[in-house]
Structure 1
């Protein structure tokens, strides 16, 4: 299982997701460019002292990430998803991808995803905070993976 951040905009959200990934022992891929400098004090504050424990792989662009060798399915969280995340069977090698806070991911990334999941919300709500979304879906994916492991 991996968490993948696509060009994050907000250092506090990126820091929170980095802290979560480190604390849960989930490796992370960070697709740049970011909307902030990676040593931003807000990122460090949100990540606290967990960032040194994070298994982080940085990619200079979407093209660089797409050309790298990966295992598992690319699972995109998107408001345009057709499958509720609670109805999806996660696998241990899945890569859970979240988009930019301001714009999600471009169409090319949507098309590259093996699966597009949505978090069902009560209208008129459209979306949740990206860090909260990542936590909900990663938690479910890890729960399913643990249950499947003898």
Structure 2
């Protein structure tokens, strides 16, 4: 599964998301311009010692992501969507796209992919959730639906399972 951050601005958020991606075996894609340097100490601090576990790609623009992940299903996360993230049947190779902290995803991108826009339900008065929290919520639901592929459980054995059944192998 892939996490795409389009023009992220806050190094701490991207660091937290990097740590999530490393721990959950998700590939991270960062779309420039970034609001920080990849070498930023806040970014590294939030990711702690997980950087060697992370697969990360930096792209000059979103079309670079589309070319690299052609054939994958993209979901665009936005507060403007009608469909909740829980109404989607995720697959292991899906792409979860998130926008910058201050503006979200560009309006033209949302309009072009209206059927694939999803949201986290929240009260009307709340503008949005923190980016790293939103990524964690949606990514972990997607992983839950796909049976947490590639992950270890406390016994050290690989964990496999589907939507309703789970077993150790």
User: How many Å apart are 1:123 and its aligned residue?
Assistant: 2.8
With structure 1 as the length reference, what TM-score do the two structures score?
0.92
Task: Point out the more displaced range, 104-113 or 30-39.
Answer: 104-113
Q: How does 1:14-93 map to 2 (within 5 A)?
A: 14-93=14-93
1:121 is matched with 122
Alpha-carbon RMSD across the aligned residues, in angstroms, is 1.7
User: How many Å apart are 1:112 and its aligned residue?
Assistant: 4.5
1:137 is matched with 138
Count the aligned residue pairs.
150
With structure 2 as the length reference, what TM-score do the two structures score?
0.82
What is the CA deviation profile of residues 124-143 of structure 1, one whole-angstrom value per residue up to 9, with x for unaligned ones? Answer: 11210011000000000000
Which whole-Å CA distance do the structure 1 matches of 2:22 and 2:108 have between them? 29
Task: Point out the more displaced range, 108-117 or 68-77.
Answer: 108-117
What is the CA deviation profile of residues 90-124 of structure 1, one whole-angstrom value per residue up to 9, with x for unaligned ones? Answer: 11221001110011111232245461001110231
Which whole-Å CA distance do the structure 1 matches of 2:55 and 2:112 have between them? 24
2:11 is matched with 11
What is the CA deviation profile of residues 40-86 of structure 1, one whole-angstrom value per residue up to 9, with x for unaligned ones? Answer: 00000001111121011111112322333434211011001110111
Structure (1/2) with the larger helix percentage: 1
Q: Which runs of 5+ in 1 are unaligned?
A: none
Which whole-Å CA distance do the structure 1 matches of 2:78 and 2:7 have between them? 15
Which whole-Å CA distance do the structure 2 matches of 1:112 and 1:45 have between them? 36
- Which structure has the bigger radius of gyration? 2
Secondary structure of 1:57's counterpart equals strand
